[in-house]
Amino acid sequence: MSAILAHDDEQLRLAEESRDRLAATLGPIYTRIAPLERFYMAEEYHQKYRLRNAPPLFREMRGYYPDAGAFRDSTAVARLNGYLDSNGTCTELEAEIESYGLSAVGSELLLKAVCGPTRR
C-alpha cells in the first residue's frame, strides 16, 4: 500500500495539495494520506535496505558505525542508502562523496553504482 503519514495538520494539508496537483495532471492518485498515529521502528535487518544489498559498502560503513543505533542514525549511511535507491544524481554524489570518508575502493563502488560503469 502506498501511504503518506503526516505528523501534523500542516503536513497533512501539504500532502493533500501535492496529491491534488498530481491528480489534475495524471488522473486519480490512490496513495492514502492520513495522520501518523504511532510510529514503529523497523527491525534492524530492514534498516538501510539498499546499502545492505551492496555488501562491500555495507561492511565499510558498519566498520565506521559498529553500533546498530549509530549505523541506523548516521546521516552518511542514510545518504549512501538513498543514492543506492536512486535518490540523488551522479553530479550531486560527486560533489559530496569525499564527505563520507569512504576508502578509494568504497568511493569507486558507490560512483559506479550511482553513475554507471562508464562515468566520466
What confidence tens digit (pLDDT) does each residue in 9-24 have? 999 999 999 999 999 9
Classified as helix, coil or strand, 4 is strand
Within a domain: 61: yes
**22 and 48, same domain (yes or no):** no
**67 and 110, same domain (yes or no):** yes
d(CA 11, CA 34): 10
Residue numbers of the domain that contains 21: 3-35
What confidence tens digit (pLDDT) does each residue in 57-91 have? 999 999 999 999 999 999 999 999 999 999 999 99
Within a domain: 120: no
**26 and 59, same domain (yes or no):** no
pLDDT of residue 117: 74
Classified as helix, coil or strand, 47 is coil
**23 and 68, same domain (yes or no):** no
**109 and 56, same domain (yes or no):** yes
**90 and 64, same domain (yes or no):** yes
